[in-house]
Chain A
Amino acid sequence: MRANYSGVRNFLLGLLLLLPLCGGSAWAQAQSQDTQAQRQEVQPGNNAPTWREVRSGKEAYTTAKGREAGVLIQNEGQAWRKLRNGPIVQYGGWLVVLMLVGIGAFYKLRGPIGLHSPPTGKMIERFSSFERIAHWSMAISFCILALSGLITLFGKFVLLPLIGHTLFGWLAEFGKTLHNFVGPIFAFSVVVFVVKFIGDNWPRAYDITWLVKGGGVLTGEVVPSGRFNAGEKIWFWGGVIGLGTVSCASGLVLDFPNFDQSRSLMILASTVHVIAGLWFILWAATHIYLGTVGTTGAYDAMRDGYVDETWAREHAQYWYEDVKAGRRALPSGEPGDATATTAPTQVQH
């Protein structure tokens, strides 16, 4: 019971601590109602109301043309500076390092996820050429954005001391221009990708089983899934749709400064963009790992669109069965039961 009481007491104390803040703002309002005209009646030469107005960040009159030219002091910049130069750079930087080390350690300890049965030699179409182009557009533009974004955020601390101001300035400007132009291409490719793949990423009951078993990644068990497993589906919804929407929307606010957006909006967009972008990069690192060296045969599917039938059975069993039974067509639209016999020979490598 004592613990309960102390909890309540702490809560009330917290409220008490917050009270002065509310009171403070009310007091400031009452003070600023005392206009400069009234104040100089009783205290000539006392410009306190004017300076209070200056500090409030309110737009006043000016002949100068420009964004918020009438604002003498804007207040959000300092908070943004502290957030960006503080926690975002520090925690963000270490998270990126930690993620790379973690992936390296996972590869060392677990190794790639291989096949349990020998490959049949019969290939099955996994992705149509349109699907591959959609994925590659997104992948390439994402990597360009991630690299140029990392240079903008961390380059000052990591690259600048190594290569000096002249070279780093050139690199960063190239990166900025690339980032600004590739951004909208990425946004467009995300939209195309989502429209194309949302059907196969729709959650199913068997996804829960897959998740509970952790996809069999650690146990080595083969867990059946649809065309995409639950892990890929979470990446699709949380990463591509969730983080994609947030980073693209905030990025477009920053990319087109010709709409006279206010500084506070751009500061907010920049903060959201950096945090969403960092999570996006961290998460994508695991996706890229699992899609290349982390899973045998996965990269061939991304590049050529074909996988071995054993691969299809072990990684996407329900999809494979559906295609073999003719319940669904191949990605390119060919009938499913006539599969694979026509697999191109040039994909053997």
Chain B
Amino acid sequence: MARMKFLCDAERCIECNGCVTACKQENEVPWGVNRRRVVTLNDGVPGEKSISVACMHCSDAPCMAVCPVDCFYRTEEGVVLHDKDVCIGCGYCFYACPFGAPQFPQAGAFGMRGKMDKCTFCAGGPEADNSKEEFAKYGSNRLSQGKLPACVEMCSTKALLGGDGDVVADIFRDRALKRGKGAEVWGWSTAYGKPDKQQAPKGAKS
């Protein structure tokens, strides 16, 4: 069985927010909830890089570990899902998650948290696949229909990759190799040390 993965290629992401829109459209995400977001570093200056981020469906998921009611579960494809009928809206998964994936719609006065909502890798929830109840609580279940997550399929530059981890890794490895060689390959300086600045190529591809 494939192990599902997301990967965002920072060289390709152009911060169009198409993935964010696709996600909201596909899953009819409630107001105030962003299952996916695009973050831009060095915005507007040379070296700007954008990265699209959502739940990364960790193998050792912190949300799952701290949940006081144990409402999370992992599918055979490695997708981390949760049961909204069990969730109590305590916010612990939001504290523990490194990626800020868990979101809470406000459910009352004083910012009281409702049931947690997060990216499902377009794999729905514990209800019957593609049922009305599943859609209302978790959104689309595209995986059960043999489709990839909406964000991934929408990405105009194919920066956001998602699906079988082995395939995603092959695509990204291929890209990294084609982009450059020697000192230009990402990780070269980690392995062999930073090249002397005088000898390094200036801009042009060698």
Contacts and interface: CB of A to CB of B under 8 A. Distances in A.
Contact of A72 (B51, B62, B87): B51
B146 interface: no
B188 A46 contact: yes
B119 to A, nearest CB: 13
Interface of A: 35-50, 53-54, 60-75, 77-78, 80-81, 84-85, 152-153, 155-156, 160, 165-166, 168-169, 172-173, 176, 180, 254-259, 263, 266-267, 270
Contacts of A74: 97-98, 100
A160 B69 contact: yes
B88 interface: yes
Nearest to B204: A44
A165 B70 contact: yes
A337 to B, nearest CB: 51
B69 A46 contact: no
Contacts of A72: 39, 51, 53, 99
Contacts of A73: 98-99
B65 interface: yes
A165 B83 contact: yes
Interface stretch (B42-50, B129-137, B163-171): B42-50
B47 A37 contact: yes
Nearest to B43: A61
A257 B100 contact: no
A80 B68 contact: no
Contacts, number: 184
Contact of B91 (A48, A62, A71, A266): A266
Given A155-B68, A165-B70, A176 B88 contact: yes
Contacts of B205: 44
Interface string B29-44: 0001010011111110
Contacts of B32: 65-66
Contacts of A61: 39-41, 43
A70 B89 CA distance: 23
A199 B86 CA distance: 48
A166 B95 contact: no
A38 B32 CA distance: 38
Interface string B90-102: 1110111111100
Nearest to B115: A173
A252 to B, nearest CB: 10
A165 B71 contact: yes
B95 A266 contact: yes
Contacts of A257: 91, 110-111, 113
Contacts of A152: 68, 90
B203 A173 contact: no
Interface in B165-206: 179-180, 183-186, 188-190, 194-195, 197, 200-203, 205
A300 B4 CA distance: 64
B186 to A, nearest CB: 6
A160 B203 CA distance: 60
13 contacts: A36-B46, A42-B195, A45-B184, A47-B49, A61-B41, A77-B96, A78-B96, A78-B98, A85-B65, A156-B68, A156-B70, A173-B88, A176-B88
B66 A81 contact: yes
Given A35-B42, A66-B103, A180 B34 contact: no
A123 B65 CA distance: 56
Given A35-B47, A168-B69, A62 B38 contact: yes
B85 interface: yes
B10 interface: yes
A32 to B, nearest CB: 12
A36 B62 contact: no
A24 B95 CA distance: 27
B156 interface: no
Given A42-B200, A50-B47, A75-B98, A169 B189 contact: no
